[in-house]
Amino acid sequence: MQEELRAFTEWVGGGRKLTQTGNLTLSDARALVALLETGDEIDPKIGDRLSRTKSSTELPELNLIVEWAKAAGLVRVVKERLLPVKKAAPLLKDSERLWEASFVALGKMSEALFPKNYWYASLVGEEFTLIWPALLRRLYGGPVPVADLRELAWEIASPYYEMHDPQAQRRMTDRDLDRLLAVLVRLGAVELTQETATLTPVAVNAARRSLGEAAPGEPIYQIRVTLQESADPVIWRCLLVSPGITIDRLHHILVAAMGWEGRHLHLFTVGGVLYGESSPEWDLDIMDEEKTSLAEVLAEVGAVMEYEYDLGDSWRHDVVLEEVLTAEEWVRYPVLVDGAGACPPEDVGGIGGYEYFRLVLADPGHDEHNEYVRWAGLESAQEFDPARFVLEAARRALASAG
């Protein structure tokens, strides 16, 4: 892909005239299809009829290269002309920098990767701003079954839409995810087998920088997360996390490590300042958690912030920076070090409701005993052990959450 981007930018030269709709002229498109060997078919024959190509956007592989060059900052559109970006010229001579610019640009390319038409809009394309970083985090953890990546994309995108034919939509979502993987292979970012996808070494480094993860030798935070007012046992987790991650990312890590389902709103509080995502459900002055790094709010050992999950049940956690360590070679962060106590059931009613839930489960003669067993989805009350914490199972959950 780097060679195609380089060849395309050199072809642009001092500039090329575009159509009134901002696309390549068909004569230029024909020349580029041959020059770049994109494999696009111009004026394809469908059955006995010739289908005339009316726009360069109908040539998906060529359009991908054009939009990729724009997203990577190699070219730009000015007054119906396609022009090279002068300050990007050194990239064309530096393969490593050109590759990284191409990799970073992928996050801005939903329309080129998944073009819309009158009968189909890609769920992967529509929700790409959510799906791309989630996929990147999942792949950063090591080899991943392709089926898991398809499932992740579906789980992220599908709740936002009503579907007349969910099975057909799922097949199209899987197909679009496979297209994205094929593009990553083409870039040299992913090694793909029939069953698994793995980031290449150069992509691991790029993903690390993109996600704010610590490189070997850089600082790593050891944090302790404790559920306030929990007792018998106290519910806590110890984690190693990169200080460069956003606290939005920390939210997802805490949900997975604690065992929450992640269906509810949340807030972080540091020194009286609130951090989170905006919501019509409250009228509060909230700082953007997606633009705030963990290092900005926990700057020194002993620093504390509060994490509140589910603003109805109000599960409040203390997050304490216990120690600053050094990131190790070959270790992918975050790492769950240890913990204790089972995660309370979702929607049980906060700490007070959880204590009552435990009391009722412990008393077979209680009027609500059977009702609570059914509500919790248990075969018997003995299935729930408030002291149960399986470290390896929690680590797998954290890895699966990306």
pTM over 0.85: no
Which residue would you say has higher pLDDT here, 327 or 43?
Answer: 327
Contact 246, 328 (CB under 8 A): no
If you search the block for the tokens 């579907």, which residue do you land on? 163
Residue range 293-307: average pLDDT? 95
Contact 125, 113 (CB under 8 A): yes
Contact 318, 306 (CB under 8 A): yes
Q: What is the pLDDT of residue 44?
A: 77
CB atoms within 10 A of CB 48: 5
Contact 165, 119 (CB under 8 A): no
Average pLDDT, the chain: 89
Confidence tier at 340 by pLDDT (50, 70, 90) = very high
Amino acid (one-letter) located at 219? P
198: phi then psi, degrees, rounded to nearest 5 = -135, 135
CB atoms within 10 A of CB 83: 15
pLDDT > 70 fraction of the chain, expressed in percent and rounded: 97
Q: Are strands 286-288 and 273-276 parallel, antiparallel or unpaired?
A: parallel
Residue range 146-153: average pLDDT? 92
CB burial string 231-258: b at 16+ within 10 A, e below: eeeebbbbbbbbbbbbbbbbbbbbbbbb
Q: Which of 3-7, 111-115, 190-194, 309-313 has the lowest mean pLDDT?
A: 111-115
If you search the block for the tokens 């801005």, which residue do you land on? 108
Does the pLDDT at position 166 exceed 90?
Answer: no
Nearest residue to 184 (alpha-carbon basis) of 216, 140, 148, 151: 140
Quick one: CA torsion of 371, 375, 381, 384, rounded to 10 degrees? -160
Beta bridge partners of 274: 269, 286
Nearest residue to 253 (alpha-carbon basis) of 86, 141, 388: 141
Confidence tier at 282 by pLDDT (50, 70, 90) = low
Beta bridge partners of 241: 221
Q: What is the pLDDT of residue 191?
A: 95
Tokens, residue 219: 């600082």
Contact 96, 102 (CB under 8 A): no
Q: What is the pLDDT of residue 247?
A: 92
Does the pLDDT at position 399 exceed 90?
Answer: no
Does the pLDDT at position 118 exceed 70?
Answer: no
Contact 315, 350 (CB under 8 A): yes
State in Å, rounded, how far the first CA of the chain is from the last one: 27
Contact 203, 99 (CB under 8 A): no
